[in-house]
Structure 1
């Protein structure tokens, strides 16, 4: 079993054209404060690879990371997208973020999968539903990752898993549940990432 993903930050861009060339790429999207940066840090077993913050909306650019592993050709990448939803920023700026993300998700031909992070503690919000429906409409490959598994009481986890999946018109087995804080299913997600990015 392989260990942590070898991720290395390379650049931040405010548009698709500013990203580095790549053979295969994964995008990470989700509501502000869903735990995108924490999950990236957990995948790489680093604490400061991606900046975390208690203030939603701090990620405002497309942040690109190289997956620096020889068997993946060292030409695969992962992009952390700005969170959608609440952010302490002017409405005009938030609109610019939306156009940037949509332009990237539709225009990046090398995208092999989009990881849609949903807060497992609270379930899918209307914005999460809107994102998944938008990806389906545009036929973009995606998978739902439910974060904060550890925040859901054990007594209600089975019901929460069913309800979260149903809220996104999915089967429970379609959703990957993880916890960056408690390292739940992180190895499994690492394997999936490597499979998606394999040459």
Structure 2
């Protein structure tokens, strides 16, 4: 729980600090090119989700976020894995960062626009979607969770393996290991 909480607090603090710096120093429609054009800093206020999807339904996003935050808090009581704590901490910090914008920024509570500012230059000559630190934390946290699931790492610290996701030592495997051949009297190993 300490790792989850610390990760979430660091992600949230970094997100809010960068948003504060962005709103104080960047102007809308005047991108700042850095790293030779690999990254642009461009202030954008987003009333929707990713790629400005659902702009007319801004009030739904805080409700979804509250459900996700509730699930993570409930899951934290069962958590015994540091990688899962990092994953869920990143998701929690990112979710809270954008929730803060939705609740406290203009145009009003549950309708606030999220402050985005980072755009990665696409190789085709265009620019990728504009995002913020909270979005990056959410993306990395979810990708880490998928990786943990695919590698069989459980939230309780155990690890699954095998085709059907069975524990590494199964009852059938244990019974097979010490089986004795009745005709020769020799012990077979599975």
Higher strand fraction (1 or 2): 1
* TM-score tier (shorter): under 0.3
TM-score (norm 2): 0.21
TM-score (norm 1): 0.20
Q: Which has the higher Rg, Structure 1 or Structure 2?
A: 2
